[in-house]
Structure 1
Amino acid sequence: MPAAPHRRGRSRRDEAVDDNIEEDDASQQHAEEDAVAEDDEEEQPRRSNKAGKRSTKAAGKQPAAEPLSDVGEDDTADDNLPVNEETFGDKPLDRHEGTKLQGMATDWNMMEKTLRASAFSLLTEVSSAVADGADFDPYIQELARLDLLMRQIVDIDVEILSHEKTLTELHQQVVGGAEIDNILDRYTAGVQEKSEAYEKKTSRQRYAKSDAYAKFRQAIYEVQHPEEAMPPIVEFLPQEEGDNSDDDDDDIQVGGIVQDLKCPITLILLAEPLTSTVCGHSFSKDAITQMLGPSRTVRKMCPAAGCNKQICLNDLKADKDLERKVKGAERRARRREDEMDAEEIVE
């Protein structure tokens, strides 16, 4: 029985010894880690110095990189230059500098085309949609606002063209051998002269000859007065001082035409309309493709009444603008039917 306590006492001593060993091992491990860390700290500067020396040697073998801002500077020196004496100097322009003028004129021309393809088309489409509800005051006011906006965009278009025309005229003078040494004054005077001449015009003189404004008014009139020809465009523009009927050109007095939205083959509203680039007549896709046959190049007489042109499938192009008009006509027809049904119910 005395052996049991003896074993317990020996176990405590063993545990104490084990604890001391573990503490010693931990202390030794921490000491080793500190030593390694110190060695690393001492080694790091040496490594950095070696790496720096290697980098310096490598940099000495290669040319220094040029700043990014200078890259391509010579290649773009002639692009988008302003018209001033700093760009062209104070000496007469040579043919090379005249080419710069033509490039600038081309830039203005691209801006004008972008304006026509975006703003003009969008305003015309929006106005056509608004015209559907023109029986209500808010829609009438909105159409008036859109009309004013279209005129303002026409003014901007004319201003852009004045820059293009002035630059083109200067370029032609240089090519013709004229000595132009005051380019800035000539350019400014040319643009100002065209702008002042335009500002002196009345509203009829400004917008009656504008194709964009005429298409804008035509789109509205087709919605409000289907199956009626639009009157002369001057009737939509107020008469002002300086407007004389004797001075009006014949082309100003020409009004719109009634566009037939029915297919000359099916005699019903067009479906997926295709318009001929040869004669301008439009047809439903299925009807005209069936009539012309499978070949895209074999020509046949146009089925539109009174047309003596021959067409083939390759001459036909999808007409999204005409398709939009057809859908608008269908929508208005359904609305009229609904209104008639409502009136019958009330009675």
Structure 2
Amino acid sequence: MPVASSSRQRRRREPSSDIEEDMPATRARANDDLEDDDDIAQAPARSSKKGRKQQKQEDDDDMDVDAAGDDDDEEVVDIVSNFQDQPIDRSHLQTLGGLSGDWATLRTTFHDKYYPIVNDVGASVAEFVEGNNGEKAVQSIDEHMRQLLDLEDEFRRHEAVVKDMVQTLARDDQIPNVIDHYEENVKQRGAEYKMKTSRQKYAKKEEYRKFRQAIFEVQHPGEAMPPVSELVPKENGDDSDDDDDVEVGGVKQDYKCPLTLTILVKPLTSTVCNHSFSENAIMDYLGQKSSVECPASGCKKMLSRAVLHENKALAKAARDAARRERAREESDEGSDDDEVIE
């Protein structure tokens, strides 16, 4: 029995000794794990320190870049401030020629669009608004017409200055400070225009003559309109007009065709002599010929289909004149009937 007991005791102790033998290895692994944990714990601290150094270096680099950028900006500002306008030469002829054409197109468009409207309004006001109100209304329309003429003259000033610049460059000359040159010349021409009197500005303008003609025909039917200068009040400076510039007045607008002696219908106007004819009448007169002598009394100019152009403004004026003539005839007939009844 004692022997058996001793054997069992030894067997029981064997596992305990195995555990004790395994303990050092387990402790070693545990220590290794702890050391690894320490390394991991210390790693962020080292990484953070390194990151701060790297961030500081990047900030320093950014400051250097900003400083360099400021230097570049200062250089650009210096270049711009020191840059001078370059003179233009013959190589800019085409560009300036196009600019002159743009001013001419603008002026022509303005001319064709607004003058006929003001003429129609002026004639209508003169015909249908009576008394003091009519006179004030006509005067107001007259002021608007003068403003249009002033604006057209401004277009002409710009166009003329550009043309002068083109001629200068065509002579192989240069124009320094082109903007100052342009603005000063336009300003000078404008100052000269403002020094003129109303007669000097408007009396010889064809559009103003047409405007006053349309009003005069309504107010004074059948009478010849005097020179426009007599319709514009005299101002200081008008005495200095050249004596050679004699304005012919006493002209009555005739809306009858020289061939048919009736009111113009679809009038065609000659560009060489400014005489107008009803379309069918002048075409029949031309027949198969390439050109004929103008049938207007005393005119020796030669007419062809190429020089005859439609005149819509004259067509409207002729219709209005015919309408007013019919209205006067009807009014006269009514007056005669009243006299008979009495």
For the aligned pair, the TM-score class normalised by the smaller chain equals 0.5 to 0.7
Residue in 2 aligned with 1:241?
Answer: 236
CA distance in 2, matches of 1:264, 1:219: 21
Tell me what 2:100 maps to.
Answer: 105
User: Mind listing any 5+ residue stretches in structure 1 that lack a counterpart?
Assistant: 1-84
Aligned to 2:214: 219
The answer to whether the 8 A contact 1:218-1:256 is kept is no
Which is richer in helix? Answer: 2
Q: Deviations over 1:103-146 (max 9, x none)?
A: 22222221111111111222123323333235444333222111
Structure 1 residue 150: Cα displacement: 0.8
Q: What is the match of residue 251 of structure 2? A: 257
User: Which of 207, 229, 238 is the equivalent residue of 2:202?
Assistant: 207
Q: Does the 8 Å CA contact 1:276/1:282 hold for their aligned counterparts? A: yes
Identify unmatched segments of 5+ residues in structure 2. Answer: 1-79
Give the letter for the 1:274 counterpart.
Answer: L
Change (3 A) 1:316 1:189: closer
Q: CA deviation at 1:301?
A: 4.8
What residue number does 2:144 align with? 149
Q: Deviations over 1:296-317 (max 9, x none)?
A: x454554433344554556544
Give a deviation string over 1:319-345, Cα, whole Å, max 9, x none. 322222221122112211232233344
Q: CA deviation at 1:193?
A: 0.7
For 2:281 and 2:116, the matched residues in 1 are separated by 29
TM-score w.r.t. the length of structure 1 is 0.65
Between Structure 1 and Structure 2, how many residues are aligned? 259
- Per-residue CA deviations over 1:55-92 (Å, capped at 9, x if unaligned) read xxxxxxxxxxxxxxxxxxxxxxxxxxxxxx99x96222
Conserved 8 A contact 1:166-1:190:
yes
The two structures, once aligned, show a CA RMSD in angstroms of 2.9
Distance 1:256 1:194, change over 3 A: farther
Determine if contact 1:234/1:252 at 8 Å carries over to the other structure.
no
2:323 is aligned with 1:327: no
Aligned pair partner of 2:332 in 334, 337, 340: 340
Select between 247-256 and 191-200 the one with higher mean Cα deviation: 247-256
User: Which stretch has the larger CA shift, 105-114 or 173-182?
Assistant: 173-182
CA distance in 2, matches of 1:108, 1:313: 31
**Does 2:86 match 1:94?**
no
**Corresponding residue SS for 2:106:** helix
Residues 152-190 of structure 1, C-alpha deviations (whole Å, 9 max, x = no match): 111111112222222222232233233332122212211
> TM (normalized to structure 2)?
0.65
For the structure 1 residues 337 and 195, does the alpha-carbon distance in structure 2 shift closer, same or farther, using more than 3 Å as the test? Answer: same
Conservation of the 8 A alpha-carbon contact between 2:267 and 2:310 = yes
Structure index of larger Rg: 2
**SS of aligned partner of 1:187:** helix
Pairing of 1:1-347 with structure 2 (within 5 A): 90-133=85-128, 135-244=130-239, 247-248=241-242, 250-251=244-245, 253-255=247-249, 257-293=251-287, 295=288, 297-309=289-301, 311=303, 316-347=308-339
